[in-house]
Each structure stands twice: as C-alpha cells, then as structure tokens.
C-alpha cells in the first residue's frame, strides 16, 4: 500500500522540510498552503526532481469547506492519507494580552486549533479501522511555548498550542483501538520565516542564549522527529511528545 501524507502549511519552514523528508521516505505528499503558491510549488518541484510524487493544494485550514476539499483532492490524486502532519500555524505581532483585540485571538485559534481539529477529523474518517480504513498516524506540531507561556510576546499563540497538546492526548486515547496513533512534536526556537510575522525576523538569534544548547534549531531537525513518530519504529508510541527545543 502506498503511504500518503497530508502536510498542512507545507510550503515553508518545518512543513516544507517535512514534505521533502517524507518524499525521501517513499510517501506521496499532499502539500497544503494558504497563500504562497510559489513556495509550495517549489517544494513540489524539488520532490519530483528527486523522483517523488507531490501535489500542492490551496486551502485555509480554518475553513471547514476548504479542509474537506483538501482531503478530497488528496483522495483523488493519491488515495486516502495514511499520515497527517498538522503543521499549519500562525502568530501575530508581539504584544501583551492587554493590548490584544478579540479579532486577533480568534484568528490565532481559528487556524492553530480549529484547523488542527478539522484536519484530524478528516484524517480519522479515512484512517479508522472502524470506518473501513487501514489505520495511520497523526503528528501535531506544537511548541515549547505551550509549556513556557510566551509572556510579553505571544500568549495567544502559546495558549493555542496548549490546546493542540490536549487534542493530541485526548485523540490518541479516542482512536488507539482503531489503528491510529496520535503524537506531537514541541518545536523550540527554530530558524523559520514565521518569526517575521511577529515583527522580529532575527528573534532566534536574540533568544538562543536562553537555550541550554545555546543555539536555535533547524526545520530539518524538527522534520526528523516528525518522521520518526510517523514511522513503524514508533509503533507503540501514542499520546506522546518529542521536545525539539534544545533543552528548554
């Protein structure tokens, strides 16, 4: 059976690194993106140049209809997914809670939490042995911020990742008897384009000395952890977390 993976937010950063590594491991890769088609298409071309199979699908994971279309497109192109990486996530400009408006908080939770729920739902509907599926694995991309709180910067983002952590634990128990494993990686200070969204592109260099290893991480290092959790090597691992945080 061909292994098929859906990676949300797969055009850049951790998602793109995961897509490339998954293709090297033999997965057919469905890369989701919201706006940056050029980046997603670039990942697809790189995978195809290496002999792999990939497609890029535009979808806003905070929108239920978009998520349904994303998975339906994957079904038509490659068959039902056997793996899902809930990687799509957003943050906004650094600020304290007393400066945030409700619209910002809703945007953060719509993508980071509701999007993860909707994609997990569609994956379970396809993977669950109770629904005629063959099982599979889900990895949620969380953050060390879910434990640390990100005070003065991104408490809304940190709280959304706390919700993703709870989703991971609860869903893992809910579908454990249906052939589906659900785990998460908590990424630390990783060199990706995401920090520019918060208004500080060089943030990792500023904070890396707070990390016991005294450096930031790479998207590839997070991708390696994700692919391990998806692999048969992690066959007895569910409801668990890998901290890719340099010791934080």
Report the catalytic residues.
157
pLDDT interval class at 54 (50, 70, 90): very high
pLDDT of 232: 97
For residues 216 and 14, the answer to whether their CB atoms sit within 8 Å is no
d(CA 220, CA 142) in angstroms, rounded, equals 16
Give the whole-number percent of the chain exceeding pLDDT 70.
99
Task: Report how many domains make up the chain.
Answer: 1
Indicate if the alpha-carbon torsion angle 135, 178, 234, 118 is positive or negative: positive
Domain around 159 = 4-244
Q: What is the pLDDT of residue 195?
A: 67
CATH of residue 101's domain is 3.40.50.720
What are the tens digits of pLDDT across the range 224-246? 999 999 999 999 999 999 999 99
CA distances from 97 to 111, 148, 200 (A): 19, 15, 18
For helices 115-127 and 155-175, angle between their N-to-C axes, nearest 10 degrees: 20
Q: Mean pLDDT of all residues in the chain?
A: 96
Percent of the chain with pLDDT over 90: 94
Confidence of residue 20 (pLDDT cuts 50, 70, 90): very high
């Amino acid at each position: 059976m061909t292994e098929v993976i859906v990676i949300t937010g797969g055009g850049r950063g951790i998602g793109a690194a995961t897509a490339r590594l998954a293709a090297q491991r033999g997965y057919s890769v469905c890369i989701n993106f919201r706006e940056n088609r050029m980046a997603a298409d670039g990942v697809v071309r790189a995978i195809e140049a290496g002999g792999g199979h990939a497609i890029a699908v535009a979808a806003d994971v905070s929108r239920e209809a978009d998520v349904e279309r994303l998975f339906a497109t994957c079904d038509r192109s490659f068959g039902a997914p056997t793996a899902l990486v809930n990687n799509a996530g957003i943050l906004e400009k650094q600020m304290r809670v007393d400066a945030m408006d409700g619209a910002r908080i809703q945007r953060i939770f719509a993508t980071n939490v509701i999007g993860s729920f909707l994609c997990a739902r569609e994956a379970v509907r396809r993977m669950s042995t109770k629904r005629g599926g063959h099982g599979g694995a889900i990895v949620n991309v969380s953050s060390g911020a879910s434990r640390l709180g990100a005070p003065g910067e991104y408490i809304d983002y940190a709280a959304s990742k706390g919700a993703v952590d709870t989703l991971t634990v609860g869903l893992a128990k809910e579908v454990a008897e249906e052939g589906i494993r659900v785990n998460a990686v908590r990424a630390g200070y990783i060199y990706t384009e995401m920090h520019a969204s918060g208004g500080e592109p060089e943030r990792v260099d500023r904070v890396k000395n707070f990390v016991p290893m005294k450096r930031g991480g790479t998207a590839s290092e997070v991708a390696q952890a994700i692919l391990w959790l998806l692999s048969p090597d992690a066959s007895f691992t569910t409801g668990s977390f890998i901290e890719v945080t340099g010791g934080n």
